[in-house]
Structure 1
Amino acid sequence: MYYSNGIRYRLYSGANLNIPIYPNKATSVAERNKLLSKLLFEINKSLETGYISEVISKIEPNKVEKIIITKTTEQAFRDVEYAKMTSPLSYDYKKELKRLVDDFLKFLTKDEKADDIKNLEQQRVEDFLNQHKATSTYYMGRRRMLSVFFAEFIRKKLITDNLSKNAPRLKTKAALHKIYTKEQLTTILQFLKVNNEDLYICCLLAYCCMLRPHQEIRLLRMKHFNDSFTSISLSGAENKSGRVRVVSIPEYLQPLIKQRLQSVHDPEINLFTLTQSTYNDYYFNLIWSRLKPAMYKQGILQKDQTIYSFRHTAAVDVYNRTKDIHIIQQLMGHSTMIVSLNYLRGLGELNSQQLKDALPVLHLD
């Protein structure tokens, strides 16, 4: 603003200077501040040339009032939910996200849902999470998933604090992933070969190729195998790591795959249904649950051993033979080596003593 003959004039744009600068038409705070800085420069230049002869007080762009974005709590959660549902995330993860949103909004009062998201109180978030303390793992899972929403609210500048991350943490116990012994591995695979060929092939692929049973193996089609059935190729959208993954098929498994697909010419034919459709998400789990009592009765299966135990057993076998974490990362399709380290720790193959023994040696006089 500037004064002329004791009258105060405000410059909202560069119109009075015949310059097309309009800060109030900016669509963001950053753009508005940039235009204000440009306007200030032009005003000062006009003062120096005498175009504006009176004193002007300098405008400080960094003190311009910020554009306030508001949204109700319910709408904020639903917007993020919609974005996640239309993203390339796993079916189970999307289902859990949706259930969390429904549960949280059901927990809030009508007034809280209709109020601005920035007015949501920390205590209300903690009260919701406290309902899920049946196990520390479940509590931390819900806390972590709820944090995804608040992180998005912060990114969109709806709020400033992650209320979920501010909630207390609970110590979780590592889940036991019990692997198979060599004797068990042979016995169980023979049992599956006789009782269900689909499950037999699934478990072989989980062990030999280290693929994930439900979201990778179940969805395999003719197009994923090369012409000689010596490798499997998955795009980034077809595996959890989000990157292209190519795995070799061991020689002892190649004849079985080739026999099943030898008369197939349509690249979209599924390995298990031998049609273009696939079995549902729980197909292998259902067969496993039906055969499990018989395996218990014969004493060939132990508690905490599952279909995933074939993949876990393979990881331990490779690690024991190579001691190379990088190889484990590549074979398992993990996004980072940190994931592989945590994986092996969860299987009990890496502990603090082993890490201690691997520390560098130095002999001092």
Structure 2
Amino acid sequence: MKIKVLNFYATPQLFVLSQETFENVYPFRKAKLVRSKGNKGDYILYYVWNVEKNGLDRKRMTIPKQYATIEERKAFVKDSIKQLNKILSLGYHINENKRKLREQQKLKLSNKTITKKVYTLREAYSTFIRIKKTQQLYKRGLAFIQNTLRRFVEWVEKENEGVFFLEELDFHLFQEYLMYLINEKENAPKTYNNTLGVLHHFYSECLKQKWLKGDNILDQFTKLSVDYETKNRPYTDKQVIDIKKDVLKQDTYLWTVISFIYYSFMRPSELRRLKVGDIDLDKGLIWVKWSISKVKKSEVLPIAKKLKELIITMELSSYEKEGFLLGKDGYPSKQKMGENYMSKHFLKIKKHFGFDKNSDYTLYGFKHTAVVNWYRKEKDIIKIQKMCRHSSVRTTERYLKSLGLIDDKDGIIGLPEI
């Protein structure tokens, strides 16, 4: 049986302190197991500060009857004590006056008759998503934002038993939710950071639309440390030779796709949307319009010599400029390549080489392969920054480090002896 620990965050009388007041955390006594021969059996005992009484309240938590075996009861007790002590150490306390004040604020907000629109959290969420849809975001990116925010809204409404007004958002609520993600949902650091990013973006939009006033509360939260990823692993020289040989035998159009990824540093999703008119062979440039760019910025990329040779063989002058460069039938067309075309065709190659079960190897890995090869040859971070379209050199440094390219081994060789 899966042990489900009680949701301490749902208790309306408990409030958590901000980081600035941690030094004045309310007194408490740690939770502990008490053996009892009473009708309800063993229980967990803890003492929590009561602001109105200006003293500690004795609280007990009984073990639910659903945990029948000794192992289940032990697991429940262990997890419950751990979570109780965690939230008590963070300043949770009983404050009935604050709860009543919050209810009064809700009532006051709901009775407002001024002309300014008073948004509920759900209304703000729905309007925010409509705004995002007008910005032509990628389907998967929009779905991630929508689902991440929806889960937050549903959690808030559940914890507050119904309608929750946007103006009620505060540091404590966000802190409770983020702790819930770590302690109860057991989010990995990357998942936690992505959620924090979406919440920050949502709050920024609320400020921009003047639905809220002040600073972005989410600025007070920091991201968790994340290990470097192996996703989109770069290919070795031998792997590239073997893959190229096999692809040219089975699927020459797939090699065209791979070549564009390698030489242009563009994402597969961007290449699907690239049009014939975006290629300027005379100037040797690729125009990446904001509407196809992941970061929604218009940029220009130089065309590498080998890529130019490939483009010439495509005879683009024979096609309409509004046609998609990589059409669905293997040549420029008004119908763009299907969303899963590239990955499905590359999966056959992965199966041939026996790494179809390894998600680290992807088509986008050829862009990382290009970065690795280029850096090893020239070690020019600025050039790579421009081709990768990074906003800063610092971003490029982190990116190169994640590929194992910047480890300062070369720099330490020249360190003078003493």
TM over 0.5, shorter chain = yes
- 2:338 aligned with 1:280: yes
Mapped contact 1:179–1:310 kept (Cα < 8 A): yes
Deviation at 1:224, TM superposition (A): 1.8
Superposed counterparts of 1:247-266, under 5 Å? 247-250=302-305, 252-261=306-315, 264-266=318-320
Mapped contact 2:281–2:308 kept (Cα < 8 A): no
Q: Which has the larger radius of gyration?
A: 1
Superposed counterparts of 1:142-181, under 5 Å? 142-155=195-208, 156=210, 158=212, 160=214, 162=216, 164=218, 166=220, 169-176=223-230, 177-181=232-236
- SS of equivalent to 2:137: coil
Structure 1 residue aligned with 2:389:
333
Structure 2 residue aligned with 1:118:
167
- 2:339 aligned with 1:290: no
Q: Distance in 1 between matches of 2:190 and 2:148?
A: 15
Superposed counterparts of 1:1-365, under 5 Å? 70-109=118-157, 114-120=163-169, 121-122=173-174, 124-126=176-178, 129-130=181-182, 131-155=184-208, 156=210, 158=212, 160=214, 162=216, 164=218, 166=220, 169-176=223-230, 177-215=232-270, 217-227=271-281, 230-241=284-295, 242-250=297-305, 252-261=306-315, 264-273=318-327, 274-296=332-354, 304-351=360-407, 353-354=408-409, 357=412
Deviation at 1:154, TM superposition (A): 4.1
Q: Distance in 1 between matches of 2:124 and 2:177?
A: 15
The two structures have a TM-score, normalised by structure 2, of: 0.61
The two structures have a TM-score, normalised by structure 1, of: 0.69
Indicate how the Cα distance of structure 1 residues 259 and 355 shifts in structure 2: closer, same or farther if over 3 A, else same: closer
Deviation at 1:362, TM superposition (A): 10
Deviation at 1:127, TM superposition (A): 5.4
Q: Distance in 2 between matches of 1:199 and 1:269?
A: 19
Q: Distance in 1 between matches of 2:203 and 2:241?
A: 48
Q: Structure 2: which amino acid aligns with 1:129? A: L
Q: Distance in 2 between matches of 1:355 and 1:73?
A: 53
Q: Distance in 2 between matches of 1:362 and 1:206?
A: 42
- SS of equivalent to 1:236: coil
Q: Distance in 2 between matches of 1:157 and 1:356?
A: 52
Deviation at 1:310, TM superposition (A): 0.9
Q: Distance in 1 between matches of 2:242 and 2:260?
A: 16
1:93-135 CA distance string (max 9 Å, x none): 2221111122222323365652322324345423553454342
- SS of equivalent to 1:238: coil
Deviation at 1:240, TM superposition (A): 3.5
Indicate how the Cα distance of structure 1 residues 198 and 103 shifts in structure 2: closer, same or farther if over 3 A, else same: farther
Indicate how the Cα distance of structure 1 residues 112 and 327 shifts in structure 2: closer, same or farther if over 3 A, else same: farther
Structure 2 unaligned residues grouped into runs of 5+:
1-114
- SS of equivalent to 1:271: coil
Q: Distance in 1 between matches of 2:175 and 2:161?
A: 13
Indicate how the Cα distance of structure 1 residues 184 and 77 shifts in structure 2: closer, same or farther if over 3 A, else same: same
Indicate how the Cα distance of structure 1 residues 97 and 246 shifts in structure 2: closer, same or farther if over 3 A, else same: same
Q: Distance in 2 between matches of 1:246 and 1:354?
A: 32
Mapped contact 1:270–1:278 kept (Cα < 8 A): yes
Indicate how the Cα distance of structure 1 residues 253 and 166 shifts in structure 2: closer, same or farther if over 3 A, else same: closer
- Which structure: greater strand fraction? 2
Deviation at 1:328, TM superposition (A): 0.6
Q: Structure 2: which amino acid aligns with 1:125? A: Y
Aligned-pair identity in percent equals 21
Mapped contact 1:143–1:165 kept (Cα < 8 A): no
